Amino acid sequence: MALIFRTDAARAAAWGEAFKRQMPALDLRMWDEPGEIADIEFALVWKPPRGVLRTFANLKAIFSIGAGVDHLFSDPELPEGVPVVRMVEPELTRGMTEYIVLHVLRHHRRQREMEANQRAEKWEMISVPTAPSRKVGVMGLGELGGAAALALTALEFDVAGWSRSPKEFPGVECFHGDFGMDAFLARTEILICLLPLTAETEGILNAELFAKLPKGASLINAARGGHQVEEDILAALDRGQLSETTLDVFREEPLPAGHPCWRHPRVTITPHNASLTDPDGAVRQVIENIQRIRRGEPPSNIVDSKAGY
């Protein structure tokens, strides 16, 4: 039994050490040194090249290193019948919650304007309401979105959530489906996108959606670059439909030099680091699922291949 894994070079050593500590007997193989292909039963990967996973004929499970799995389902040659397992890891969730709370507070407290005034040596009082008067909307109420929504309710924001299917969270006004979208958007002043990227959500952050928000609403996208139409975001900012935006993700990453988002005065950019998977916690989850499979049980957190999450 062997597991092959693929991650960025900077973090590969940390993952390898985590496996050695927790399952030293595991035959761990680097992506560029697979050895005997027939031995490989598990793959732990991030953005594997198209068609390669199909070459592992004895694969029993594919584990995503990150919370998203769109990087796997975008491969038309993904092996059929092999379960794809999403990453549900406490530190990943905690990191995303911290990111969302940080940027909601920045938008809510108009911190961008404060910083601009400091640069201009301008002393000006900027009045802001307290959290109960601010309506925040979270698109996507899965593991990450649900945790973020609950953290915001703890700060007493007026929180709503939207999801494809009905969800319930204490203190959160929940909307779902196409018929719930317009009402959700109409009451949202700070919009957070934590949706999975699927065929249905591709390009969802567009001009049509922004027009349904209150004028001057703001946007935080920490999900996937594929959700956003960047030209529409910039146009909405320039005409005042959006007041500001925080973007952790882009359609092209790294964001190329000269992209208009770099210098736009109302865009905050972070380099797709809202939350990073903790190797120790993630390896623990992978090992538990390997043991489940060896006992003849299905792994936890299997992705619905039809839904894409």
Residues forming the active site? 224, 272
How distant, in Å, are the alpha carbons of 9, 83, 243 from that of 72? Answer: 19, 11, 35
Rg (CA), the chain: 21
Residue whose structure tokens are 């591709």: 202
User: How far apart are the C-alpha atoms of 78 and 171, rounded to whole Å?
Assistant: 40
Token pair, residue 133, equals 């008067």
Instruction: Report the sign of the C-alpha dihedral through residues 113, 118, 122, 128, in that order.
Output: positive
Q: What does the DSSP assignment read for 256-290?
A: PTT-TTTT-TTEEE--S-S----HHHHHHHHHHHH
Beta-carbon contacts of 292 under 8 Å, excluding residues fewer than 6 positions away, are: 298, 299, 300
Sort 8 into a burial class: Cβ within 10 Å, 0-12 / 13-18 / 19+.
Answer: exposed
Residue whose structure tokens are 């009451």: 187
User: How far apart are the C-alpha atoms of 138 and 193, rounded to whole Å?
Assistant: 6
Neighbour count for residue 267 (Cβ, 10 Å) = 21
